[in-house]
Amino acid sequence: MEIALATDFGIYELSPESMDCQMKKLADAGISHVHWAHDWDFEYLYSQWEILQIKELLEKYGLKCKGVHASEGNTRCRVIDGKPRFLNRNRLRDCRKDFTSPYEYNRLSGVELVLNRVDLACMLGAEEIVLHMVLPYEDFEASKDFKDLYWKQAFKSFDEMESYCRAKKVRIAIENMICTPKEYQFEQFDKLFERYSPEYMGICFDSGHSALVCTDCTYEFAQRYQSRLIAIHLDDNNSIDFSLSTDVDGAVQKSDKHMLPFTGVVNWEKICQLIAGSPYKLPLTLEVVVPHNTAEEEMAGLKKAKEVGEKLTQMVLSYRS
């Protein structure tokens, strides 16, 4: 049975040797597809030669690509006073590639970064890229002019990217996030889906993120935007553990454990039912962290992930039939 797994499942290293080792592990565990999640953060641009290198690497191990995780720009984790802080409420002022930037050349650089991942997806035979779009909602609250300009620039960028994505046959899936109140995200998805067609844009439903944001209804994003469900990150979480940090966003971020499905609070029966009634194309994609203290533990974790993915797939198929 075909199952996709995000490539940042364990030790996250970017050397050619490490990537080769990671792909071999996936193939040895019986995983059929990857969700290419390397470089999902930061401003790194793949050269045409690196894109070809990744294509040949997947072919070497008989792996197919279900999707590519794009990057919205610079990392949101900063070290402040010797401690990591997650900046999820405001615009990143030091981001040089930002498709929502008020500065035109930085906005165009952000567009270039996103389309770089579209090129990668097209070369790998994937039909979608997953994109974070973390809303600077405190800046929205402070200034209507800021919010208006933010959306003006975002729409300008998505308008410019549409013809390119359509020509490459790659859609953009905007992911639901963990530190932005759900009401702002509902406004975001409503705006985007009113303006752009399903042939260009949809949602990437992250079950672990949804469980932390929608504590009263862990599948709310999937239910609300079921007709636009084109990509998924399946993983489990428990509730937010505020003892992890005095920083609220930090506590949320550290509570995003990317656990195996059926080990947390997510309602998998309902989520599989929603996936079954959506336009989502199998295989399912798991975005989980696999224990990797030893090689044996890591391989056992990969095989367990495949087993869980197959169980979820059977649940989806039973609803579809």
- The predicted structure's pLDDT at residue 237: 96
Give pLDDT, residue 216: 87
- For the chain, the domains span 4-320
- DSSP SS3 for 139: helix
Mean residue pLDDT of the chain comes to 96
3-state secondary structure of 94: coil
- Closest of 179, 262, 189 to residue 221, by C-alpha: 189
pLDDT at res. 134: 96
Cα angle: 292, vertex 39, 6; to 5 degrees = 50
pLDDT in tens, 86-145: 889 999 988 999 999 999 999 999 999 999 999 999 999 999 999 999 999 999 999 999
The class that CATH gives domain 4-320 is alpha beta
Q: Is pLDDT at 147 greater than 90 in this prediction?
A: yes
Band of pLDDT at residue 13, cut at 50, 70 and 90: confident
- Distance of alpha carbon 121 from alpha carbon 129, whole angstroms: 7
Q: What is the pLDDT of residue 161?
A: 98
Encode pLDDT of 263-285 as tens digits: 999 999 999 999 999 999 999 99
The model's pTM is 0.96
Model pLDDT, residue 85: 82
Phi and psi at residue 230, to the nearest 5°: -120, -10
**Cα radius of gyration rounded to whole Å, the chain:** 19
Q: pLDDT (tens digit, 9 = 90+) per residue, 198-244? A: 999 999 999 999 999 998 899 999 999 999 999 999 999 998 998 98
Report pLDDT for 11: 73
Q: What is the DSSP string of 266-312?
A: --HHHHHHHHHTS-PPSSPEE--PPP-SSHHHHHHHHHHHHHHHHHH
What is the pLDDT at residue 65?
A: 98
- Main-chain phi, psi angles of 296, to 5 degrees: -65, -40
Position 82 scores a pLDDT of 82
12 pLDDT higher than 80: no
What is the C-alpha to C-alpha distance for residues 130 and 26, in angstroms, rounded to an integer?
21
Residue 170 has pLDDT above 80, yes or no: yes
Contact assessment for residue 128 and residue 121, using Cβ atoms and an 8 Å cutoff: yes
Q: pLDDT tens, 297-306?
A: 999 999 999 9
Residue 71 has a CB neighbour count (10 Å cut-off) of 22
> Which pLDDT score is estimated for 183?
97
| Predicted pLDDT of residue 190 | 98
Residue 79: pLDDT band (50, 70, 90) is confident
93, 58 contact by CB (below 8 A): no
Distance, CA of 61 to CA of 272 (rounded, Å): 29
Q: For residue 187, what pLDDT is reported?
A: 98
Residue 157 has pLDDT above 90, yes or no: yes
Secondary structure of residue 83 in the 3-state scheme? strand
CA 188 to chain centre: 16
pLDDT class of 197 with cuts at 50, 70, 90? very high
Residue with tokens 């042939």: 199
